[in-house]
Amino acid sequence: MSELSVVIVGGLHADARKAAVRRLLSDVPDSVVLHHDLATARAGTVVRTIRDAVGVIDAGEAPLVNDCACCALREDLVPELRRLAEAGGTRLAVVELWDSVEPKAMAEVVTAGGLTVTGVITAVDPALVLPCLGNGDDLAECGLAAAATDQRTVADTFARQLEYAPVLAVAHSPEADDEDRELLAQLHPTARQIPIEDGHPSDPAGLWPTARSPLARSPLARAALAGFDVEAAAAAQHPACALLPAEADAHGVSTLVWHRRRPFHPERLYDALEGITCAAARSRGRFWLADRPDTLLHWDAAGGALCVESAGPWLASLPDAAWEMVPPVHRAAAALDWHAEHGDCCQHLVFTSPGLDRDGLERLLDSCLLTDTEYAAGRAAWKRLPPAFDTLLEV
């Protein structure tokens, strides 16, 4: 089986995604694109096409698996990629994801199938970032659900697509202004942004493929072939060790990093959830509830909707012998947050939005912490506080 590089290109901004795919097909010799159209799932099948820069070279259908279009994609994608690798002649397989498919799952499926993912790219139109983050509609309402049980929203799906990819292919958008571009930069400050239009067939700089240089050297093509670490990407999203944005304030967009050592009072936080969640276009991080002092909780909000989940124990609550089973990146993140009294238990929430009321939001968050008297009562008393989050955590 010949060496085949796989790049995953996703994103809800379909026009930007298609433009990025066209750019890659144009820039990388011997490349093809695989696309599974999940819009036909209601009819019981998923339509697969394989095309090169000239046009469609193969098409077929994959049956639904467990009434789930995304499951059908998973089952069909790896065999098709293996077939391409075995046939030879293909240098790069571009996996163009359907609108609402998230790149993390597909990157892990391809890697688990023994293939090499060399890049993950999310295509973005800067003018559509804020509208997508503010869209709390269910995917099903927009015809974008990948399964009958798909309960994701447009906002949270877009946020995960954006934040997982180390590379953003950015479409030229006349409607985008400085605020739109700044919002994109603050939401994912570590991403490499590459204009989709970079490069031109006239190749004045001599960067295009030649007989001596078989690989395209345009920025987007280089990113597609640069290499990708699935485990590192997953760790960067895990709430215990996520690389969250830093403080920022420019062009009307702000990022507030709120870091505190004291736990939340569960009832006061629960009563303030609407105000906190709606204060920013995007917020995420980890937090600490007094009545669950050993549990690291994940905060994930977009489009005015909040998801709260348990992410396992704080390291401080584990016996020393269990630390060896914790990934090194998690231990390193905990060390950065370590406190002599509470270990890694803390509040670390990040809020990003145009027009963010930083002072008001900080006051609201601070008001939800334990008071001096409540804090002094100790952990045994904290655990007796009303468990206001049981419903959200499905306990």
Q: Where in the chain is the domain with CATH 3.30.1220.10?
A: 248-382
Q: What is the pLDDT of residue 377?
A: 96
**Per-residue pLDDT of the chain in tens (395 residues, 90 and over written 9):** 458 999 999 999 999 999 999 999 999 999 999 999 888 777 778 899 999 999 999 998 888 777 777 788 888 899 999 999 999 999 999 999 999 999 999 999 999 999 999 999 999 999 999 999 999 999 989 988 887 788 899 999 999 999 999 999 999 999 999 999 999 999 999 999 999 984 444 343 434 444 334 444 689 999 999 999 999 898 888 888 888 899 999 999 999 999 999 999 999 999 999 999 999 999 999 999 999 999 999 999 999 999 999 999 999 999 888 888 888 888 888 888 888 889 999 999 999 999 999 999 999 999 999 999 999 999 999 999 999 999 888 75
- Domain 5-237 in this protein, CATH class: alpha beta
DSSP annotation of 245 reads P
Query: Residue 387 and residue 295: Cα distance in Å, rounded?
Result: 13
Query: Residue 76 and residue 63: Cα distance in Å, rounded?
Result: 9
Q: Where in the chain is the domain with CATH 3.40.50?
A: 5-237
Query: Residue 126 and residue 175: Cα distance in Å, rounded?
Result: 8
Query: Residue 362 and residue 257: Cα distance in Å, rounded?
Result: 10
Whether this model's pTM surpasses 0.75: yes
Only one residue has tokens 């670390």, namely 348
- Domain 248-382 in this protein, CATH class: alpha beta
Q: What is the pLDDT of residue 201?
A: 41
DSSP 131-172: HHHT---BGGGGT--SBTT---BHHHHHHHHHHH-SEEEEPP
Q: For the chain, list the strands marked E by DSSP.
A: 5-10, 31-37, 45-51, 56-63, 92-96, 116-124, 167-170, 192-195, 248-250, 253-260, 282-287, 295-302, 305-313, 347-354
Q: What is the pLDDT of residue 199?
A: 46
Task: Give the strand pairing for 92-96 and 31-37.
Answer: parallel
Q: What is the pLDDT of residue 243?
A: 81
Q: What is the pLDDT of residue 330?
A: 84
Cα→Cα distances 17→8, 342, 354, Å: 11, 45, 25
Q: What is the pLDDT of residue 43?
A: 73
Residue 224 near residue 94 (C-beta atoms within 8 A): yes
Q: Which residues is 255 bridged to in the sheet?
A: 248, 352
Only one residue has tokens 């800067």, namely 126
Nearest to 75 by CA among 32, 46, 40, 49: 46
